[in-house]
Homo-oligomer: A and B are copies of this chain.
Amino acid sequence: MLNLPQLKNQQLWLCALTHRSYVNEHLEIKEHNERLEFLGDAVLAFVAGEFLYQRYPHLSEAQLSRLRARLVDETQLAKFAVQLGIGQLMRLGKGAIKDGGRENPALLSDTFEAIIGAYFLDAGIDAVREFVRPLFQSVADILMVAQSEILTSEKLLDPKNRFQQWTLANFTQNPEYVIIEESGPDHAKEFTAQVKVQGIVYGIGRGRRKQEATKTAAEAALKKIGLF
């Protein structure tokens, strides 16, 4: 099990662990952890962004954004919280405990964020960075590979991509898509697209949008050459 940070300010630490449902049942306690959660969310967005920017110098902005979203989403933060044993430390109301609150991903993730917010107030951004980086390092590469595999398989399945691969391999040319017809009223248009290679029509397709029509044309072309 990984270690939680040690805060100098014990009150702040307790506040980070305190869920709203606990405050409702304990009149002497005034503050729950939601504001710290807000702060921790902002701190994590930054540390995650900085970490990914440095670790993956060749990824595009879009790839980095997708990766950051995964690295600090509820699912992932709840996993970190479990690794750190946060479930047993959360101060929850009796009802929340009965409803399985200690294993609830939303509560675990929120409390993790609140702890990050509290640690930031207690020890500053460098301390948070040092605490969080090993967690990020333990999953970033796995998330990145998983993501590129999804993207690759999507690309492989896309008929326009597949037909392009074939034309490049056979003609060292890209296929050419042309919208040859538009029909119907504005709210129910239909487009007809043609895909040509070296001036020869390989497929025709129809669709409600231009993109759909060209995709259907590519499918027709793949059928014609026996690849669909």
Contacts and interface: CB of A to CB of B under 8 A. Distances in A.
Interface string A44-71: 0110111001000001110011001000
A50, A60, A117, A125: which has the most chain B beta carbons within 10 Å? A50
A39 interface: yes
B38 A42 contact: no
A208 interface: no
The copy count of this chain in the complex is: 2
Contact of A61 (B34, B48, B53): B34
Interface residues of A, number: 22
Nearest to A46: B46
Contacts of A59: 35
Contacts of A46: 42-43, 45-46
A53 B40 CA distance: 10
Given A45-B45, A125-B125, A39 B50 contact: yes
A41 interface: yes
Contacts of A117: 53
Contacts of A53: 35, 38-39, 42, 117
A219 interface: no
B49 A43 contact: yes
A56 to B, nearest CB: 9
A19 to B, nearest CB: 12
A42 B45 CA distance: 6
Interface string A1-45: 000000000000000000000000000000000110111011101
A36 to B, nearest CB: 9
A116 to B, nearest CB: 11
A205 B65 CA distance: 46
9 nearest A-B residue pairs (beta carbon): A42-B49, A46-B46, A34-B61, A45-B45, A38-B61, A39-B53, A38-B64, A42-B46, A42-B45
Given A34-B60, A38-B64, A42-B48, 15 more contacts: A34-B61, A35-B53, A35-B59, A35-B60, A35-B64, A38-B53, A39-B49, A39-B50, A39-B53, A42-B45, A42-B50, A42-B68, A43-B46, A45-B45, A45-B49
